[in-house]
Structure 1
Amino acid sequence: MTTKQMTMKGQNVKEGAGIVSFMTVAAWIALGIGLLTCLFEVSDFSDRNLGLMVGVGFLVGSVQIYMIGAAIRLFHHNKTKQAE
């Protein structure tokens, strides 16, 4: 019985680590897309410039994705500490 509980704990930690690394990579990709889009579209700096607004959206979205990934990492870290 104890072995099954340890195995399940390890699986939960592995699932958390996988999603956190995926979220981190997705955040960096979104940040890169946002930076490139903003740099290419910065010549017409106004709110009517759709490319610039999409770039800003990617920048803001990358921060949100990274924060959600950090929250998941902290949640799984606290969950494993309480289980031990």
Structure 2
Amino acid sequence: MTTKKTSANELNGIGRDVGRLVTMMTVAAWVFLGAGLILSMLNLHHFSDKNPSLMVGIGCMVGSVFIYVIRTAIHLVHSRAEAVTE
């Protein structure tokens, strides 16, 4: 004997569509990576922690990785939730 679980979203007919969020986060990650690379390459001549644009560029590159990891986690959780409900 199995029991069927339903959520409030399924009862209302409103599902969560995270496709746009995943796409937006992918674009944001690539934009931040590109901006970080440009900022870092333009100011590489003064390689020091006192160079603010170099530090911002490195921060953008690191931030883009975090954005992409969060995007991947959201996508995996959503696809897993869809697989369980089917």
Q: TM class, shorter-chain normalised?
A: 0.7 to 0.9
Q: How far apart, in 2, do the equivalents of 1:79 and 1:47 lie?
A: 44
User: Scaled by the length of structure 2, what TM-score is found?
Assistant: 0.83
Greater fraction of residues in helix = 1
For structure 1, list consecutive stretches of 5 or more residues without a partner in the other structure: none
Structure 1 segments, 4+ long, off by >6 Å, are none
Aligned length: 77
Q: What is the CA RMSD across the aligned residues, in angstroms?
A: 1.6
Could you give the per-residue CA deviations for residues 5-60 of structure 1, whole angstroms, max 9, x where no partner exists? Answer: 4943xx31xx2111001000000000000000001110100111111000000000
Name which structure has the greater RCO, CA cutoff 8 Å, separation 6+.
Answer: 1
Q: How far apart, in 1, do the equivalents of 2:18 and 2:81 lie?
A: 10
User: Scaled by the length of structure 1, what TM-score is found?
Assistant: 0.85
